[in-house]
Structure 1
Amino acid sequence: MSFSGKTAIITGAAGGMGLNIGLDLADQGANVVLMDINPATINLEAHSHKNLICFEQGDVTHSEFVKDAMDRAFQRTGRIDYLVNAAGVLWFDKDRSTEETDLDAWDRIMEINLKSMIITCRHVFPYMRKTGTGSMVHIASIQAMRGDDKPQVAYQASKAGIISLSKTVALEGAKDGIRSNSILPGPTLSPMQERWIENPEIQRMTENVIPLARAGTTQDISNATLFLLSDKASYITGTELVVDGGLLARP
Protein backbone atom coordinates (compact mmCIF):
# COMPACT_ATOMS: atom_id res chain seq x y z
CA MET A 1 0.00 0.00 0.00
CA SER A 2 1.69 3.17 -1.19
CA PHE A 3 0.56 6.58 0.06
CA SER A 4 3.74 8.46 -0.80
CA GLY A 5 3.10 12.00 -1.99
CA LYS A 6 -0.66 11.74 -1.49
CA THR A 7 -2.65 14.06 0.80
CA ALA A 8 -5.09 12.93 3.47
CA ILE A 9 -7.60 14.84 5.61
CA ILE A 10 -8.48 13.22 8.95
CA THR A 11 -11.18 14.57 11.30
CA GLY A 12 -11.42 13.73 14.99
CA ALA A 13 -7.65 13.43 14.93
CA ALA A 14 -6.50 14.94 18.22
CA GLY A 15 -6.23 11.42 19.64
CA GLY A 16 -7.64 7.91 19.45
CA MET A 17 -8.52 6.34 16.09
CA GLY A 18 -8.12 9.53 14.07
CA LEU A 19 -4.62 10.26 15.33
CA ASN A 20 -3.52 6.62 14.91
CA ILE A 21 -4.77 6.64 11.31
CA GLY A 22 -3.08 9.97 10.60
CA LEU A 23 0.30 8.92 11.98
CA ASP A 24 0.18 5.62 10.09
CA LEU A 25 -0.53 7.45 6.84
CA ALA A 26 2.36 9.82 7.53
CA ASP A 27 4.60 6.82 8.20
CA GLN A 28 3.61 5.61 4.71
CA GLY A 29 4.66 8.93 3.16
CA ALA A 30 1.33 10.76 2.95
CA ASN A 31 0.91 14.45 3.67
CA VAL A 32 -1.61 14.44 6.51
CA VAL A 33 -3.90 17.21 7.74
CA LEU A 34 -5.30 16.42 11.18
CA MET A 35 -8.49 18.27 12.19
CA ASP A 36 -10.04 18.47 15.64
CA ILE A 37 -11.72 20.96 17.94
CA ASN A 38 -9.30 19.82 20.69
CA PRO A 39 -5.51 20.18 20.66
CA ALA A 40 -3.44 17.15 19.72
CA THR A 41 -2.77 14.70 22.56
CA ILE A 42 0.85 14.11 21.49
CA ASN A 43 3.69 16.42 20.54
CA LEU A 44 3.48 16.35 16.75
CA GLU A 45 6.65 18.42 16.50
CA ALA A 46 8.55 15.46 17.95
CA HIS A 47 7.08 12.99 15.45
CA SER A 48 9.59 11.55 12.98
CA HIS A 49 7.41 12.67 10.06
CA LYS A 50 6.48 16.11 11.37
CA ASN A 51 7.18 17.61 7.94
CA LEU A 52 4.26 15.55 6.60
CA ILE A 53 1.76 16.49 9.31
CA CYS A 54 -0.30 19.66 9.73
CA PHE A 55 -2.77 20.19 12.58
CA GLU A 56 -5.85 22.34 11.99
CA GLN A 57 -7.70 23.11 15.23
CA GLY A 58 -11.34 23.99 14.79
CA ASP A 59 -14.93 22.77 14.78
CA VAL A 60 -15.64 20.36 11.92
CA THR A 61 -19.35 21.14 12.18
CA HIS A 62 -18.50 24.63 10.85
CA SER A 63 -18.46 24.57 7.06
CA GLU A 64 -16.19 27.60 6.63
CA PHE A 65 -13.49 26.14 8.89
CA VAL A 66 -13.47 22.85 6.98
CA LYS A 67 -13.40 24.55 3.57
CA ASP A 68 -10.60 26.91 4.58
CA ALA A 69 -8.52 24.06 6.02
CA MET A 70 -8.97 22.03 2.84
CA ASP A 71 -8.07 25.08 0.72
CA ARG A 72 -4.82 25.41 2.67
CA ALA A 73 -4.07 21.70 2.29
CA PHE A 74 -4.59 21.89 -1.48
CA GLN A 75 -2.46 25.04 -1.78
CA ARG A 76 0.39 23.35 0.13
CA THR A 77 0.35 19.99 -1.65
CA GLY A 78 -1.56 20.48 -4.90
CA ARG A 79 -3.94 17.61 -4.22
CA ILE A 80 -6.33 15.92 -1.77
CA ASP A 81 -6.59 12.15 -2.19
CA TYR A 82 -8.10 10.79 1.01
CA LEU A 83 -10.70 11.73 3.60
CA VAL A 84 -11.24 9.93 6.90
CA ASN A 85 -14.20 11.02 9.03
CA ALA A 86 -13.29 9.90 12.54
CA ALA A 87 -14.89 12.79 14.48
CA GLY A 88 -17.42 11.53 16.98
CA VAL A 89 -18.69 11.69 20.55
CA LEU A 90 -20.30 9.18 22.88
CA TRP A 91 -21.93 10.85 25.88
CA PHE A 92 -23.13 8.22 28.34
CA ASP A 93 -24.46 10.81 30.79
CA LYS A 94 -26.69 12.74 28.34
CA ASP A 95 -27.41 10.21 25.59
CA ARG A 96 -29.56 7.45 26.98
CA SER A 97 -32.92 5.91 26.15
CA THR A 98 -35.61 7.31 23.87
CA GLU A 99 -37.44 8.84 26.83
CA GLU A 100 -34.37 9.99 28.76
CA THR A 101 -32.03 11.46 26.15
CA ASP A 102 -31.37 15.18 26.44
CA LEU A 103 -32.68 16.61 23.16
CA ASP A 104 -30.09 19.40 23.09
CA ALA A 105 -27.44 16.69 23.41
CA TRP A 106 -29.17 14.77 20.59
CA ASP A 107 -28.80 17.80 18.30
CA ARG A 108 -25.13 18.31 19.13
CA ILE A 109 -24.29 14.60 18.76
CA MET A 110 -25.94 14.61 15.35
CA GLU A 111 -23.91 17.67 14.39
CA ILE A 112 -20.57 16.21 15.48
CA ASN A 113 -21.09 12.63 14.33
CA LEU A 114 -23.11 13.13 11.14
CA LYS A 115 -23.36 16.76 10.01
CA SER A 116 -19.56 17.02 10.04
CA MET A 117 -19.48 14.18 7.50
CA ILE A 118 -21.66 15.87 4.91
CA ILE A 119 -19.62 19.06 5.37
CA THR A 120 -16.28 17.33 4.76
CA CYS A 121 -17.63 15.26 1.85
CA ARG A 122 -19.15 18.23 0.01
CA HIS A 123 -15.94 20.24 0.34
CA VAL A 124 -13.54 17.43 -0.59
CA PHE A 125 -15.38 16.31 -3.73
CA PRO A 126 -14.09 19.17 -5.95
CA TYR A 127 -10.47 18.52 -4.95
CA MET A 128 -10.71 14.79 -5.58
CA ARG A 129 -12.28 15.42 -8.98
CA LYS A 130 -9.23 17.48 -9.95
CA THR A 131 -7.03 14.39 -9.64
CA GLY A 132 -9.67 12.00 -11.00
CA THR A 133 -9.45 9.72 -8.00
CA GLY A 134 -10.09 9.67 -4.27
CA SER A 135 -11.04 7.46 -1.36
CA MET A 136 -13.08 8.18 1.76
CA VAL A 137 -13.52 6.14 4.93
CA HIS A 138 -16.10 7.04 7.56
CA ILE A 139 -16.02 5.61 11.09
CA ALA A 140 -19.46 4.30 12.06
CA SER A 141 -20.11 1.59 14.70
CA ILE A 142 -21.61 -1.88 15.04
CA GLN A 143 -24.16 -0.14 17.28
CA ALA A 144 -25.71 1.19 14.06
CA MET A 145 -26.70 -2.38 13.17
CA ARG A 146 -28.61 -3.38 16.29
CA GLY A 147 -30.70 -2.19 19.20
CA ASP A 148 -29.48 -2.04 22.76
CA ASP A 149 -31.15 -2.49 26.12
CA LYS A 150 -28.72 0.15 27.49
CA PRO A 151 -28.86 2.49 24.52
CA GLN A 152 -27.25 5.71 23.50
CA VAL A 153 -29.95 6.51 20.95
CA ALA A 154 -28.39 9.61 19.38
CA TYR A 155 -25.02 7.92 18.98
CA GLN A 156 -26.56 4.84 17.39
CA ALA A 157 -28.81 6.83 15.05
CA SER A 158 -25.96 9.10 13.96
CA LYS A 159 -23.74 6.12 13.19
CA ALA A 160 -26.53 4.52 11.14
CA GLY A 161 -26.74 7.79 9.24
CA ILE A 162 -23.03 7.58 8.45
CA ILE A 163 -23.52 4.18 6.80
CA SER A 164 -26.40 5.44 4.67
CA LEU A 165 -24.69 8.68 3.67
CA SER A 166 -21.50 6.82 2.76
CA LYS A 167 -23.44 4.69 0.26
CA THR A 168 -24.91 7.79 -1.38
CA VAL A 169 -21.50 9.48 -1.50
CA ALA A 170 -20.11 6.32 -3.14
CA LEU A 171 -22.71 6.48 -5.90
CA GLU A 172 -22.17 10.22 -6.39
CA GLY A 173 -18.42 9.81 -6.64
CA ALA A 174 -18.18 6.63 -8.69
CA LYS A 175 -18.22 8.32 -12.10
CA ASP A 176 -15.18 10.35 -11.02
CA GLY A 177 -13.27 7.40 -9.57
CA ILE A 178 -14.01 8.44 -5.99
CA ARG A 179 -14.76 5.67 -3.49
CA SER A 180 -16.57 5.84 -0.14
CA ASN A 181 -16.79 3.13 2.51
CA SER A 182 -17.53 2.95 6.21
CA ILE A 183 -15.89 0.99 9.02
CA LEU A 184 -17.95 -0.42 11.88
CA PRO A 185 -15.74 -0.85 14.94
CA GLY A 186 -16.82 -3.00 17.83
CA PRO A 187 -15.75 -2.22 21.42
CA THR A 188 -12.38 -0.51 21.07
CA LEU A 189 -9.75 0.69 23.53
CA SER A 190 -9.70 4.43 22.86
CA PRO A 191 -10.23 7.72 24.73
CA MET A 192 -13.97 7.31 24.06
CA GLN A 193 -13.99 4.40 26.49
CA GLU A 194 -12.50 6.21 29.50
CA ARG A 195 -15.00 4.39 31.70
CA TRP A 196 -12.94 1.22 31.21
CA ILE A 197 -9.99 2.90 32.91
CA GLU A 198 -12.14 3.85 35.86
CA ASN A 199 -13.88 0.46 35.98
CA PRO A 200 -11.85 -2.34 34.33
CA GLU A 201 -14.59 -4.81 35.23
CA ILE A 202 -16.80 -3.26 32.52
CA GLN A 203 -14.07 -3.95 29.99
CA ARG A 204 -13.68 -7.56 31.17
CA MET A 205 -17.43 -8.15 30.96
CA THR A 206 -17.46 -6.73 27.42
CA GLU A 207 -14.52 -8.87 26.31
CA ASN A 208 -16.20 -11.99 27.67
CA VAL A 209 -18.86 -11.78 24.94
CA ILE A 210 -16.47 -10.99 22.07
CA PRO A 211 -15.60 -14.21 20.18
CA LEU A 212 -11.94 -13.19 19.84
CA ALA A 213 -11.95 -12.48 23.60
CA ARG A 214 -10.43 -8.99 23.48
CA ALA A 215 -11.41 -5.43 22.79
CA GLY A 216 -10.20 -3.87 19.58
CA THR A 217 -7.42 -1.30 19.43
CA THR A 218 -7.07 1.92 17.49
CA GLN A 219 -4.38 0.12 15.49
CA ASP A 220 -6.95 -2.48 14.39
CA ILE A 221 -9.12 0.33 13.05
CA SER A 222 -6.18 2.08 11.43
CA ASN A 223 -5.12 -1.13 9.64
CA ALA A 224 -8.62 -1.54 8.21
CA THR A 225 -8.82 2.14 7.22
CA LEU A 226 -5.52 2.14 5.35
CA PHE A 227 -6.62 -0.96 3.43
CA LEU A 228 -9.89 0.67 2.33
CA LEU A 229 -8.11 3.89 1.37
CA SER A 230 -5.48 2.05 -0.65
CA ASP A 231 -5.47 0.86 -4.24
CA LYS A 232 -5.72 -2.70 -2.92
CA ALA A 233 -9.39 -1.85 -2.28
CA SER A 234 -9.86 -0.17 -5.66
CA TYR A 235 -12.97 -2.25 -6.47
CA ILE A 236 -14.60 -1.72 -3.07
CA THR A 237 -17.04 1.14 -2.63
CA GLY A 238 -20.41 1.80 -1.02
CA THR A 239 -20.02 -0.89 1.60
CA GLU A 240 -19.10 -1.49 5.26
CA LEU A 241 -16.19 -3.30 6.88
CA VAL A 242 -17.00 -4.69 10.33
CA VAL A 243 -14.01 -4.73 12.71
CA ASP A 244 -15.46 -6.19 15.91
CA GLY A 245 -13.73 -9.43 16.85
CA GLY A 246 -16.77 -11.40 15.67
CA LEU A 247 -19.32 -9.72 17.94
CA LEU A 248 -21.97 -9.14 15.28
CA ALA A 249 -21.70 -12.78 14.24
CA ARG A 250 -23.04 -13.96 17.57
CA PRO A 251 -26.63 -15.20 17.60
Structure 2
Amino acid sequence: MSGRLEGKVAVITGVGGGIGYQAASLFAQEGAKLVCADVNDQAGKAAVAKVVAAGGEAVYVHCDVSKEFDVKAMVATAEEKFGKLNIMFNNAGIMHPKDDNAETTEESVWDMTMNINLKGVWFGCKHAIPAMRRAGGGSIINTASFVAVMGAATPQLAYTASKGGVLAMSRELAIVHARENIRVNAICPGPLHTPLLMDFLNTEEKKERRLVHLPMGRFGEAIEIAQGALFLASDDASYVTGTDFMVDGGLRAAYVTPVGETKSIPPNSNRE
Protein backbone atom coordinates (compact mmCIF):
# COMPACT_ATOMS: atom_id res chain seq x y z
CA MET A 1 0.00 0.00 0.00
CA SER A 2 1.51 3.31 -1.09
CA GLY A 3 1.73 6.30 1.24
CA ARG A 4 -0.13 9.58 0.91
CA LEU A 5 3.01 11.31 -0.41
CA GLU A 6 4.35 8.48 -2.57
CA GLY A 7 6.33 9.83 -5.52
CA LYS A 8 6.51 13.36 -4.15
CA VAL A 9 9.54 15.44 -3.22
CA ALA A 10 9.36 17.75 -0.23
CA VAL A 11 11.55 20.48 1.27
CA ILE A 12 11.16 21.10 5.01
CA THR A 13 12.90 23.93 6.87
CA GLY A 14 13.59 24.00 10.60
CA VAL A 15 13.99 20.23 10.65
CA GLY A 16 16.28 20.13 13.67
CA GLY A 17 13.44 19.71 16.17
CA GLY A 18 9.80 20.24 17.02
CA ILE A 19 7.37 20.50 14.11
CA GLY A 20 10.11 20.24 11.49
CA TYR A 21 11.48 16.94 12.72
CA GLN A 22 8.03 15.43 13.24
CA ALA A 23 6.99 16.51 9.74
CA ALA A 24 10.14 15.04 8.20
CA SER A 25 9.57 11.73 9.96
CA LEU A 26 5.89 11.63 9.00
CA PHE A 27 6.38 12.76 5.37
CA ALA A 28 9.08 10.11 4.88
CA GLN A 29 6.82 7.41 6.34
CA GLU A 30 4.19 8.45 3.80
CA GLY A 31 6.60 8.02 0.87
CA ALA A 32 8.07 11.47 0.22
CA LYS A 33 11.71 12.04 -0.64
CA LEU A 34 13.04 14.87 1.49
CA VAL A 35 15.41 17.79 1.44
CA CYS A 36 15.72 18.75 5.10
CA ALA A 37 17.16 22.11 6.13
CA ASP A 38 18.21 23.88 9.29
CA VAL A 39 20.68 26.52 10.44
CA ASN A 40 21.78 24.23 13.28
CA ASP A 41 23.78 21.60 11.41
CA GLN A 42 24.22 19.26 14.37
CA ALA A 43 20.48 19.09 15.12
CA GLY A 44 19.53 18.99 11.45
CA LYS A 45 21.90 16.17 10.57
CA ALA A 46 20.80 14.21 13.61
CA ALA A 47 17.16 14.54 12.57
CA VAL A 48 17.91 13.37 9.03
CA ALA A 49 19.92 10.43 10.38
CA LYS A 50 16.85 9.31 12.34
CA VAL A 51 14.64 9.61 9.26
CA VAL A 52 17.07 7.59 7.15
CA ALA A 53 17.53 4.97 9.88
CA ALA A 54 13.77 4.49 9.88
CA GLY A 55 13.83 3.76 6.14
CA GLY A 56 13.19 7.21 4.73
CA GLU A 57 15.02 8.88 1.85
CA ALA A 58 16.36 12.28 2.89
CA VAL A 59 19.30 14.62 2.47
CA TYR A 60 20.38 17.49 4.71
CA VAL A 61 21.32 21.01 3.59
CA HIS A 62 22.43 23.94 5.70
CA CYS A 63 20.04 26.84 5.22
CA ASP A 64 19.68 30.19 6.95
CA VAL A 65 16.23 31.09 5.61
CA SER A 66 16.94 34.81 6.04
CA LYS A 67 19.59 34.51 3.32
CA GLU A 68 18.17 34.20 -0.20
CA PHE A 69 21.24 32.43 -1.55
CA ASP A 70 20.78 29.61 0.99
CA VAL A 71 17.08 29.23 0.17
CA LYS A 72 17.69 29.21 -3.58
CA ALA A 73 20.36 26.52 -3.15
CA MET A 74 18.04 24.48 -0.93
CA VAL A 75 15.31 24.39 -3.59
CA ALA A 76 17.89 23.65 -6.30
CA THR A 77 19.05 20.65 -4.26
CA ALA A 78 15.56 19.13 -4.47
CA GLU A 79 15.54 19.36 -8.27
CA GLU A 80 19.16 18.24 -8.65
CA LYS A 81 18.89 15.31 -6.22
CA PHE A 82 15.33 14.12 -6.83
CA GLY A 83 14.33 15.76 -10.14
CA LYS A 84 11.48 17.97 -8.94
CA LEU A 85 9.78 19.77 -6.07
CA ASN A 86 6.17 19.05 -5.08
CA ILE A 87 5.94 20.21 -1.45
CA MET A 88 7.49 23.18 0.31
CA PHE A 89 7.02 23.37 4.09
CA ASN A 90 8.30 26.78 5.19
CA ASN A 91 8.43 25.91 8.86
CA ALA A 92 11.58 27.53 10.27
CA GLY A 93 10.97 30.35 12.73
CA ILE A 94 12.05 31.96 15.98
CA MET A 95 10.45 33.48 19.07
CA HIS A 96 13.00 35.80 20.67
CA PRO A 97 12.95 35.88 24.50
CA LYS A 98 13.32 39.69 24.46
CA ASP A 99 10.35 40.18 22.14
CA ASP A 100 7.83 42.26 24.09
CA ASN A 101 5.60 45.25 23.30
CA ALA A 102 5.95 48.24 20.98
CA GLU A 103 7.77 50.32 23.57
CA THR A 104 10.36 47.85 24.78
CA THR A 105 11.07 45.43 21.89
CA GLU A 106 14.51 46.25 20.53
CA GLU A 107 14.97 47.06 16.85
CA SER A 108 17.49 44.24 16.49
CA VAL A 109 14.93 41.74 17.85
CA TRP A 110 12.27 43.09 15.47
CA ASP A 111 14.56 42.86 12.44
CA MET A 112 15.84 39.38 13.29
CA THR A 113 12.30 38.07 13.78
CA MET A 114 11.03 39.57 10.53
CA ASN A 115 14.04 38.37 8.55
CA ILE A 116 13.58 34.76 9.65
CA ASN A 117 9.83 34.41 10.20
CA LEU A 118 8.51 36.52 7.32
CA LYS A 119 11.24 37.22 4.79
CA GLY A 120 12.44 33.62 5.12
CA VAL A 121 8.97 32.34 4.20
CA TRP A 122 8.82 34.76 1.27
CA PHE A 123 12.18 33.48 0.00
CA GLY A 124 10.89 29.92 0.31
CA CYS A 125 7.78 30.73 -1.72
CA LYS A 126 9.72 32.81 -4.25
CA HIS A 127 12.02 29.93 -5.16
CA ALA A 128 9.57 27.07 -4.71
CA ILE A 129 6.94 28.46 -7.10
CA PRO A 130 9.07 28.27 -10.29
CA ALA A 131 10.18 24.74 -9.35
CA MET A 132 6.56 23.73 -8.80
CA ARG A 133 5.60 25.15 -12.19
CA ARG A 134 8.23 22.87 -13.71
CA ALA A 135 6.75 19.95 -11.75
CA GLY A 136 3.20 20.71 -12.88
CA GLY A 137 2.02 22.01 -9.50
CA GLY A 138 2.54 21.56 -5.82
CA SER A 139 1.67 22.45 -2.25
CA ILE A 140 3.25 25.20 -0.17
CA ILE A 141 2.63 25.11 3.58
CA ASN A 142 3.71 28.14 5.61
CA THR A 143 3.85 27.99 9.39
CA ALA A 144 1.94 30.95 10.81
CA SER A 145 0.36 30.88 14.29
CA PHE A 146 -2.87 31.38 16.17
CA VAL A 147 -1.53 34.85 17.03
CA ALA A 148 -1.91 35.72 13.34
CA VAL A 149 -5.67 35.89 13.95
CA MET A 150 -5.88 36.74 17.68
CA GLY A 151 -4.34 39.26 20.03
CA ALA A 152 -2.84 38.42 23.42
CA ALA A 153 -2.21 40.28 26.63
CA THR A 154 1.16 38.52 26.94
CA PRO A 155 2.93 40.48 24.19
CA GLN A 156 5.37 39.09 21.64
CA LEU A 157 4.93 41.87 19.14
CA ALA A 158 7.53 41.09 16.49
CA TYR A 159 6.54 37.41 16.47
CA THR A 160 2.84 38.24 16.20
CA ALA A 161 3.41 40.76 13.41
CA SER A 162 5.62 38.34 11.49
CA LYS A 163 3.05 35.56 11.68
CA GLY A 164 0.27 37.91 10.61
CA GLY A 165 2.40 38.72 7.58
CA VAL A 166 2.86 35.02 6.81
CA LEU A 167 -0.90 34.51 6.88
CA ALA A 168 -1.67 37.49 4.65
CA MET A 169 1.09 36.57 2.19
CA SER A 170 -0.12 32.96 2.03
CA ARG A 171 -3.65 34.05 1.14
CA GLU A 172 -2.46 36.30 -1.67
CA LEU A 173 -0.07 33.75 -3.14
CA ALA A 174 -2.85 31.14 -3.02
CA ILE A 175 -5.08 33.31 -5.20
CA VAL A 176 -2.33 34.42 -7.59
CA HIS A 177 -1.22 30.85 -8.28
CA ALA A 178 -4.50 28.93 -7.89
CA ARG A 179 -4.83 28.24 -11.63
CA GLU A 180 -1.28 26.92 -11.85
CA ASN A 181 -2.14 23.94 -9.63
CA ILE A 182 -0.04 25.46 -6.84
CA ARG A 183 -1.81 25.45 -3.49
CA VAL A 184 -0.65 27.74 -0.67
CA ASN A 185 -1.92 27.37 2.89
CA ALA A 186 -0.88 28.73 6.27
CA ILE A 187 -0.98 26.29 9.15
CA CYS A 188 -1.70 28.05 12.44
CA PRO A 189 -0.56 26.10 15.51
CA GLY A 190 -1.92 26.88 18.93
CA PRO A 191 0.42 26.93 21.95
CA LEU A 192 2.70 23.89 21.73
CA HIS A 193 4.75 21.86 24.16
CA THR A 194 7.95 22.51 22.20
CA PRO A 195 11.24 24.14 23.25
CA LEU A 196 10.40 27.26 21.21
CA LEU A 197 7.40 28.12 23.38
CA MET A 198 8.51 26.49 26.62
CA ASP A 199 11.71 28.59 26.58
CA PHE A 200 9.53 31.68 26.16
CA LEU A 201 7.05 30.61 28.85
CA ASN A 202 9.86 30.06 31.32
CA THR A 203 7.82 30.02 34.56
CA GLU A 204 4.89 27.92 35.73
CA GLU A 205 2.87 31.11 36.11
CA LYS A 206 3.35 31.96 32.43
CA LYS A 207 2.43 28.42 31.38
CA GLU A 208 -0.74 28.38 33.48
CA ARG A 209 -1.77 31.76 32.09
CA ARG A 210 -1.83 30.18 28.64
CA LEU A 211 -3.33 26.84 29.65
CA VAL A 212 -6.40 28.40 31.27
CA HIS A 213 -7.53 29.66 27.85
CA LEU A 214 -7.20 26.32 26.03
CA PRO A 215 -10.49 24.39 25.79
CA MET A 216 -8.62 21.07 25.66
CA GLY A 217 -6.70 22.03 28.79
CA ARG A 218 -3.27 21.19 27.39
CA PHE A 219 -0.56 22.41 25.05
CA GLY A 220 -0.45 20.82 21.62
CA GLU A 221 2.31 18.50 20.47
CA ALA A 222 4.57 18.97 17.44
CA ILE A 223 3.32 15.71 15.89
CA GLU A 224 -0.22 17.11 15.89
CA ILE A 225 0.89 20.04 13.73
CA ALA A 226 2.88 17.72 11.48
CA GLN A 227 -0.26 15.66 10.90
CA GLY A 228 -2.08 18.83 9.80
CA ALA A 229 0.80 19.68 7.47
CA LEU A 230 0.65 16.15 6.02
CA PHE A 231 -2.99 16.68 5.09
CA LEU A 232 -2.20 20.01 3.39
CA ALA A 233 0.76 18.46 1.56
CA SER A 234 -1.21 15.49 0.28
CA ASP A 235 -3.72 15.15 -2.53
CA ASP A 236 -6.38 14.75 0.16
CA ALA A 237 -6.27 18.56 0.29
CA SER A 238 -6.51 19.02 -3.48
CA TYR A 239 -9.37 21.57 -3.12
CA VAL A 240 -7.81 23.40 -0.15
CA THR A 241 -5.92 26.64 -0.75
CA GLY A 242 -5.70 30.07 0.87
CA THR A 243 -6.71 28.79 4.30
CA ASP A 244 -5.65 29.70 7.81
CA PHE A 245 -5.62 26.06 8.89
CA MET A 246 -6.09 26.22 12.66
CA VAL A 247 -4.59 23.42 14.76
CA ASP A 248 -5.12 25.09 18.10
CA GLY A 249 -7.08 22.86 20.48
CA GLY A 250 -10.18 25.02 19.99
CA LEU A 251 -8.50 28.23 21.17
CA ARG A 252 -9.80 30.46 18.39
CA ALA A 253 -13.35 29.22 18.89
CA ALA A 254 -13.42 29.77 22.64
CA TYR A 255 -15.11 32.58 24.55
CA VAL A 256 -15.34 30.83 27.92
CA THR A 257 -13.40 27.61 28.44
CA PRO A 258 -14.86 24.44 30.04
CA VAL A 259 -14.65 23.68 33.73
CA GLY A 260 -12.04 21.06 34.54
CA GLU A 261 -8.36 20.59 35.20
CA THR A 262 -5.65 21.57 32.76
CA LYS A 263 -3.05 19.06 31.66
CA SER A 264 0.56 19.84 30.81
CA ILE A 265 0.71 17.07 28.17
CA PRO A 266 -1.85 14.75 26.60
CA PRO A 267 -1.97 11.06 27.52
CA ASN A 268 0.13 8.71 25.36
CA SER A 269 1.74 11.64 23.53
CA ASN A 270 4.83 11.48 21.35
CA ARG A 271 7.16 14.03 22.94
CA GLU A 272 10.39 13.28 21.05
Q: TM-score, normalised by structure 2?
A: 0.87
1:194 CA displacement: 3.1
Amino acid at match of 2:214: I
Cα-Cα RMSD: 1.7
Partner of residue 28, structure 1: 30
1:247 to 1:177, Cα distance in 2 relative to 1, 3 A = same
1:46 to 1:147, Cα distance in 2 relative to 1, 3 A = closer
1:239 to 1:105, Cα distance in 2 relative to 1, 3 A = same
The answer (yes or no) to whether the contact 1:35–1:60 under 8 Å persists in 2 is: no
1:51 CA displacement: 5.3
1:170 CA displacement: 0.7
Amino acid at match of 1:91: H
The answer (yes or no) to whether the contact 1:44–1:50 under 8 Å persists in 2 is: no
The answer (yes or no) to whether the contact 2:142–2:166 under 8 Å persists in 1 is: yes
Q: Distance in 2 between matches of 1:28 and 1:117?
A: 24
Partner of residue 164, structure 2: 160
Q: CA deviation digits over 1:77-117, x for unaligned, max 9?
A: 11100001111111122x10110010111011000000011
1:55 CA displacement: 1.1
The answer (yes or no) to whether the contact 2:188–2:244 under 8 Å persists in 1 is: yes
Q: TM-score, normalised by structure 1?
A: 0.93
Partner of residue 186, structure 1: 190
The answer (yes or no) to whether the contact 2:149–2:164 under 8 Å persists in 1 is: yes
Question: Per residue, is there more helix in 1 or in 2?
Answer: 1
- Asked if 1:128 corresponds to 2:132, the answer is yes
Q: Gapped runs of 5+ residues in structure 2?
A: 256-272
Q: Give the counterpart of 2:244 among 221, 240, 244.
A: 240
Partner of residue 60, structure 1: 65
- Which residues of 2 match residues 84-163 of structure 1 at below 5 A? 84-93=89-98, 95-163=99-167
- Asked if 1:78 corresponds to 2:80, the answer is no
Q: Secondary structure of 2:172's partner?
A: helix
Q: Secondary structure of 1:189's partner?
A: coil
The answer (yes or no) to whether the contact 2:38–2:64 under 8 Å persists in 1 is: yes
Q: Distance in 2 between matches of 1:2 and 1:236?
A: 16
Percent identity at matched positions?
35
1:149 to 1:8, Cα distance in 2 relative to 1, 3 A = same
Greater alpha carbon shift after TM alignment, 79-88 vs 140-149: 140-149
Q: Secondary structure of 2:174's partner?
A: helix
1:127 CA displacement: 1.1
- Asked if 1:206 corresponds to 2:214, the answer is no
Q: Secondary structure of 1:121's partner?
A: helix
Aligned residues: 250
Q: Distance in 2 between matches of 1:203 and 1:27?
A: 33
Amino acid at match of 1:211: P
Q: Give the counterpart of 2:48 among 44, 47, 65.
A: 44
The answer (yes or no) to whether the contact 1:13–1:40 under 8 Å persists in 2 is: no
Q: CA deviation digits over 1:135-159, x for unaligned, max 9?
A: 0111111111122222111100000
1:185 CA displacement: 0.8
1:231 CA displacement: 0.8
- Asked if 1:195 corresponds to 2:195, the answer is no
Q: Distance in 1 between matches of 2:70 and 2:48?
A: 21
Q: Distance in 1 between matches of 2:129 and 2:50?
A: 32
Amino acid at match of 1:133: G
